[in-house]
């Protein structure tokens, strides 16, 4: 790492720490917060709705792009119409306008029917956004993330996990005092993703037959509460583990692991049968202060991504294979290279009541490129105002330096109904 890059990295990390930044809430979490603010428990609603206006400008590496305006409509209904029956519907519509061109993308996040015949038994059927993993920025056990993103409005990991397609599935869960067992089956419903604005996109959410079993068990007061997973699709069978433990009153240590015989991202991109046992890990710790400051430091490893030598060969070769590999890694939400780290800082009510600060730095540990993201948000009772900044730094064709944009600024006005 040369001196300017090292200085920039240290400055960004220090800024994130000193700013005591607060995580930008995912839309669903923010909607829940708005409900909690607006309603008393006796007047709780079974629906939430968000309208968001945004204006974004960017500095590109190769050419200028027009300023973008966006209107997003996001809603969720969770209605219990009988004592043991409920219906859940969640949808997001993003309307974009830039340079006189309009583009619309609708994401049907969830639509399912739930039945709870007993307190310890739940059965669901329909499109469900099922999310697994204790990692913050990278989740090896989040097996249903592949191909689930239709529209990206923020690189905040919480937003990426929330604002995506669910998968059509049958899901059953049984509970006991110290644990739970979940089993689900998701059938193949399509062959390829759709670009149509209002298409339910079965080819993206259900491209193959898949099933998953997850079991969790708490072992008394030992702070040992692991979750074990077994996942299978037509390409791979993988084991998974999620585990976190509280150290003292303020620190949580966590580890997330998945492993199984599978192709690498490069093998999938270039139709090479290189199947082997590959591991993926996300591990770190979160420290929380009494001042509502929270810091998370995470190490990420993806055995399916390219190592140092492979990444250098791809960077130095023709552009078409380079782009094909990057597009597939993004579509699958794999890491681009094998080793990465992330520092995330969050601070609620930062110096001023209702003002939240947030920020993170993603560092590629192979090519030394990085992505930095900062946000300041004022939270009203029903309306938020936020400013966001994103910076992608690195050499040409590096992980983040190879992205077309160098900087992005975004202003947002969010109203919760």
Residue 216 CA to residue 171 CA, distance in Å, equals 16
Q: Please, what's the b/e burial string for 358-394 (b: 16 or more CB within 10 A of its CB; e: otherwise)? A: bbbbbbbbbbbbbbbbbbbbebeeeebebebebbbbb
pLDDT band for 224, please (50, 70, 90 cuts).
Answer: confident
Q: Please give the pLDDT value at position 62.
A: 83
Residue 125 CA to residue 385 CA, distance in Å, equals 37
The mean pLDDT value for 266-270 works out to 97
pLDDT band for 45, please (50, 70, 90 cuts).
Answer: confident
Backbone angles phi, psi at 50, to 5 degrees: -125, 135
The mean pLDDT value for 60-69 works out to 87
pLDDT band for 222, please (50, 70, 90 cuts).
Answer: low
The mean pLDDT value for 385-402 works out to 97
Residue 325 CA to residue 307 CA, distance in Å, equals 13
Say whether pLDDT at 388 is over 90: yes
Q: Please give the pLDDT value at position 6.
A: 38
Q: Please give the pLDDT value at position 98.
A: 92
Say whether pLDDT at 91 is over 70: yes
Share of the chain above pLDDT 70, in %: 89
Domain boundaries along the sequence of the chain? 3-416
CA-wise closest residue to 108 among 203, 199, 207: 199
Say whether pLDDT at 41 is over 90: no
Distance of CA 127 to the CA centre of its chain: 18
Say whether pLDDT at 221 is over 60: yes
Q: Please give the pLDDT value at position 18.
A: 32
Write a three-state SS string for 276-315.
EEEEEEEEEEEEECCCCEEEEEEEEEECCCECHHHHHHHH
Two tokens at 217? Answer: 């068990």
Could you list the beta-strand ranges (E) of 225-273: 227-233, 237-247, 251-262
Q: Per mean pLDDT, which range of 24-38, 124-138, 262-276 is the poorest?
A: 24-38
Q: Per mean pLDDT, which range of 25-29, 262-266, 275-279, 293-297 is the poorest?
A: 25-29
| Helix (H) or strand (E) segment spanning residue 385 | strand 383-393
Q: Per mean pLDDT, which range of 13-27, 139-153, 318-332, 349-363 is the poorest?
A: 13-27
Q: Is the pTM of this model over 0.75?
A: yes
Q: Which residue has the higher pLDDT, 4 or 182?
A: 182
Q: Please give the pLDDT value at position 100.
A: 86
The residues, ordered by sequence, that sit 6+ positions from 400 with a Cβ below 8 Å of its Cβ are 362, 364, 369, 370, 371, 392, 393, 394
Say whether pLDDT at 31 is over 90: no
The mean pLDDT value for 106-127 works out to 98
Q: What is the CATH number of domain 3-416?
A: 2.40.160.10
Backbone angles phi, psi at 411, to 5 degrees: -110, 135
CA-wise closest residue to 145 among 137, 102, 153: 137
The mean pLDDT value for 186-203 works out to 96
Backbone angles phi, psi at 409, to 5 degrees: -115, 140
Share of the chain above pLDDT 90, in %: 84
| β-strand pairing of 355-364 with 339-347 | antiparallel
Q: Which residue has the higher pLDDT, 178 or 173?
A: 173
Q: Which residue has the higher pLDDT, 74 or 247?
A: 74
pLDDT band for 167, please (50, 70, 90 cuts).
Answer: very high
Q: Rounded mean pLDDT of the chain?
A: 90
């Amino acid at each position: 790492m040369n001196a300017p890059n090292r200085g920039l990295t240290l400055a960004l990390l220090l800024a994130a720490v000193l700013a005591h930044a607060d995580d930008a809430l995912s839309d669903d979490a923010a909607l829940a917060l708005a409900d909690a603010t607006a309603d008393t428990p006796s007047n709780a609603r079974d629906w939430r709705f968000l309208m968001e206006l945004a204006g974004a400008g960017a500095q590109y590496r190769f050419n200028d792009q027009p300023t973008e305006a966006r209107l997003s409509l996001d809603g969720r209904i969770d209605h219990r119409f009988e004592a043991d029956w409920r219906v859940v519907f969640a949808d997001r519509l993003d309307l974009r306008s830039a340079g006189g061109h309009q583009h619309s993308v609708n994401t049907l996040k969830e639509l399912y029917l739930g039945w709870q015949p007993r307190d310890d038994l739940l059965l669901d059927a329909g499109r469900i956004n099922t999310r697994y993993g204790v990692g913050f920025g990278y989740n090896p056990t989040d097996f249903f993330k592949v191909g689930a993103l239709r529209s990206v409005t923020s690189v905040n990991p919480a937003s990426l996990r929330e604002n995506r397609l669910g998968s059509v599935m049958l899901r059953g869960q049984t509970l006991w005092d110290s644990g739970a067992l979940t089993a689900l089956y998701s059938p193949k419903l399509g062959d390829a993703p759709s670009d149509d604005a209002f298409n339910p996109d079965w080819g993206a959410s259900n491209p193959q037959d898949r099933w998953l079993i997850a079991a969790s068990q708490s072992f008394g007061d030992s702070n040992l509460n692991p979750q074990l997973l077994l996942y299978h699709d037509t390409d791979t069978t993988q084991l998974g583990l999620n585990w976190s433990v509280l150290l003292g009153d303020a620190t949580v240590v966590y580890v997330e692991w998945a492993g199984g015989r599978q192709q690498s991202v490069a093998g999938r991109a270039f139709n090479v049968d290189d199947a082997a046992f590959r591991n993926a890990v996300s591990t770190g710790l979160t420290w929380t202060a009494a001042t509502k400051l929270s810091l998370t430091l995470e190490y990420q490893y993806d055995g399916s991504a390219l190592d140092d030598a492979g990444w250098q060969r791809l960077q130095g070769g023709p552009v078409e294979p380079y782009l094909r590999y990057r597009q597939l890694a993004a579509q699958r939400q794999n890491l681009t290279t094998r080793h990465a780290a992330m520092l995330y800082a969050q601070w609620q009510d930062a110096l001023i009541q209702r003002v939240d600060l947030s920020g993170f730095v993603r560092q590629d540990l192979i090519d030394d490129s990085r992505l930095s993201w900062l946000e300041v948000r004022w939270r009203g009772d029903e309306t938020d105002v936020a400013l966001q900044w994103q910076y992608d730094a690195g050499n040409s064709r590096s992980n983040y330096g190879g992205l077309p944009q160098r900087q992005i600024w975004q202003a947002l006005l969010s109203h919760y109904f």
